[in-house]
Structure 1
């Protein structure tokens, strides 16, 4: 019989999507046994919608619940580190939304705490589980795509003053960064998921769209370890919104759907070099079944890892790679210089890039 894991969710903005699309979609694997939010109206409406009886406004109450296996943290980014540390200390597994923390020092602290714990931390990167990106990765990993040449990653969204009425979204302390950390983070993750890590980068950032502390425009040039060159363009000032990933390989060109808030989803354009490559792609995909999409797929894999004691689908090491990239970007933008990766512990931004410019 499959063991059902009990979950407590704190932060019922995106946390509500975790409940509906992640845990309830896998109701044979998870029970959301408790929820927590400082907003009483949101707390009650979510509890009523999903029939959850235990409703708390104090995070500490979740830590004291002996029957809870997992705490799912969906609160503002600036709160994540201390909540994760407290949950690990209480013997709970942790799922945590992006961005996980605001420095390499913080992620190394979490890695050390996890190594001393009997429980584990999984960062959320749910778009890896969408059908389009899963098929592209399968084609690449099968060796059909050949040598990677170049890639572009565009996250052009629109955010006006109303979006920033929540104070934490405006500041380095609350949001840990701007469009790079909170809007482009998922599509950037898909770029690295498909091509692997960067070897070096050069970044430009600016705050041009809204009167906020953090950046709302970013342009980054990357030299990837696989040999490809890539560019990232991100802004919250685009009237027409889109998210687009385009990758040119020796034998295949991939282009994602343009839908702004569902990166990695179908339909993707896959253009083969010739009929032979097209036939090889068809054969590779014939018996390939992608996992359930987004939160449903990631939560299902998390349950499997916890119950079977196998590696997590995403780890703190994955989050560290993302933070390594961010640290290099903010330092490059501040110093107008190219930055080699990885960033070492003696780097000036190892302890954080807040107030980077």
Structure 2
């Protein structure tokens, strides 16, 4: 029976707790830590847990914890993850992996030294539509991908950034590009690979109680000359999200949509019904996942621990996602095209460099310590979440 600790009792911790509780024969939540212990106590009581409640997570470092879920604000992800890795725990980290690429590298080095697993939450990969889309892309039926599009469109009201750690470069690390679009960017990298160049713009158009952006648009160039784009937003009503891949033969997407075209003699399109039928048959033949979302990723980690295997989303994947996000911030802050990879001497490699160079749109003049405990919106087929 694996002993589990939850570090951070904010809204996203419920997804982790409920995920672990689906595997009661394999693991047990034995501790919850939060700088507001009453929040941790409420989580334990709500789920009927017999969990140790501590204010300082360091009290748990010698308790023989097997698996830790880090559900805190991003600026302390690295410190917590590294401490537990060195103590001999496997670590699951909520998105984003850390506040800087250097911190990601430090986490990965600690994992290598300890021999323990790191998995960064990317629950969209563990959803049936995404797994099916990835399999169809890998089949090659759509042809060479010439354009990729990720729309991570959310809506958050003005008060969203009143929470004490949100809306600051120091503690949240960025706006929706980092904290909402991270899942769509992870999926885009998983399916399409890393671009070589990024040209981006960002702005704050509706939240003058935040330093960070509430809208960004990035253009991507891949090594083969093909293009992509990413929209990250908390100002889009309807919160529509999608991943779209335009191949030479067909267009496929999540949510699922399929169109295949062939050329008439004058170059105008007509539907390729045979290819559409072939792709649809493949899509329909692919299995539905028995477990999805956070629970499926937790199952992936538990299985890797039990079998000595690997995880689908490791610390390398988490770092690659943050690298593209930092490339977007670099380009949007400097007006220059950012070239990937970002090296260790790049200003946007460290948290200190980001704090010096990232654009501050407004001064955060007031804050609240906590919001009332309530459900959060997490999207539909393409899900993100707030801590």
TM above 0.5: yes
Aligned to 2:156: 159
Distance 2:250 2:16 in 1: 35
Taking the aligned partners of 2:81 and 2:153, their CA distance within structure 1 comes to 31
Question: 2:246 maps to what in 1?
Answer: 248
Structure 1 residues 301 and 226, CA, compared in 2 at 3 Å: closer, same or farther?
farther
C-alpha separation between the residues in 1 aligned to 2:92 and 2:73? Answer: 14
In 2, the alpha carbon distance for the partners of 1:225 and 1:129 equals: 28
Cα distance in structure 1, aligned partners of 2:99 and 2:41: 31
Could you tell which deviates more after superposition, 51-60 or 269-278? 269-278
Q: Which residue of 1 aligns with 2:105?
A: 108
Report matched runs for 1:193-342 at 5 Å.
Answer: 193-211=190-208, 212-225=210-223, 227-257=225-255, 268-273=256-261, 274-285=272-283, 287-291=285-289, 292-342=291-341
**Residues 134 and 225 of structure 1, relative CA distance in 2, 3 Å threshold:** farther
1:331 Cα shift? Answer: 1.6
In 2, Cα distance between equivalents of 1:307 and 1:227: 43
Alignment match of 1:71 (pick from 68, 86, 92): 68
The Cα of 1:240 is off from its aligned counterpart by 3.2
CA contact (8 A) 1:195 1:226 kept: no
CA distance in structure 2 between the partners assigned to 1:51 and 1:308 by the alignment? 29
Indicate the RMSD between aligned Cα atoms, in angstroms: 1.8
How many residues get paired? 342
Compute the displacement of 1:287 (Å).
4.5
Residue deviations 1:146-205 (CA, integer Å, cap 9, x gap): 111212222222222321121111211110111110111111222222211111110111
Structure 1: where are the runs of 5+ without partners?
A: 258-267
| Distance 1:77-1:293 versus aligned 2 partners, 3 A rule | same
- TM (norm. structure 1) is 0.90
Partners in 1 of 2:100 and 2:56 — Cα distance? 26
Give the drift of 1:70.
0.6
Distance 2:234 2:320 in 1: 24
